[in-house]
Structure 1
């Protein structure tokens, strides 16, 4: 790894994970304020991306159902997820391209994939955990809510998939992982 990449990676960890101030970063990296500012400018896109993930973390972290121990664990989970809806397969970029969300009155939703708890009942299984969470589009997350199980929702997701495919004038692949992993029939067989 070259020096520039090392400095960028170190800066991002200190800034975005440890959330150190510029003064603290200067001391930790033994560099000047001008060098810290230069690193910030060169890492601005990565920092903005990570801030979006941190915002998702911060919105949920005080909920009693939220079981991620810290931002690092949540970030690892987020990065491990496909960047498409676990139910219908739409990517965030494709969803935004359709302009469907332009008329939402609540502008805080629909701009990015949302954190979805797949198993929502019984209540004790309705948790934000590494195994139970996936990313979902606003439409699927709203439609599934907390009262439709994965197997039943698959029929609805196929309709939502058709909706997105028509809006984009191309077929979107329906994902299978969430249905294979969380099938109630499979759970009964495994018991």
Structure 2
């Protein structure tokens, strides 16, 4: 988990919605739209994000996307074709995004604080408790994640930013995915924390 990798993830989030927006409104996308892309503000696109996440991915491929005249299949294919056409310029777009957008949205100091956090925002489990669970042979994950906090986007379809990021443990991150908002997940997270701490007592 590096600062650049989070920038790339954030870039992908913006690019997906940007392309979706242009395509369902019948607008062409080419390399001349870099500045428009850099100024594209996902925080102002809540309805569009909902249409993308809740309608586009949950409507049958042969059906028409509600509110448009385009079939789901056609949108999907057009997005892929557009990404292929932009392939040569996307590295430059990604670089420009990192320097002109991402560094302002998620400050390096905030990123460092998130990396060094000792407690999960959702379940309050600490790194020390996780280490204690591991030493007691009470963890059963089958990967190398979990030894420190990860970074969660409270609003999962928004970009990484100072206001949208909190430290999250591996178990809460796996459970929250992109499905739950921070408010929805908080009681679920507390239950996860309670279950993990109960192991320490047994």
> What TM-score does the superposition give when structure 2 sets the normalisation length?
0.46
Greater RCO (Cα-Cα under 8 Å, separation 6 or more): 2
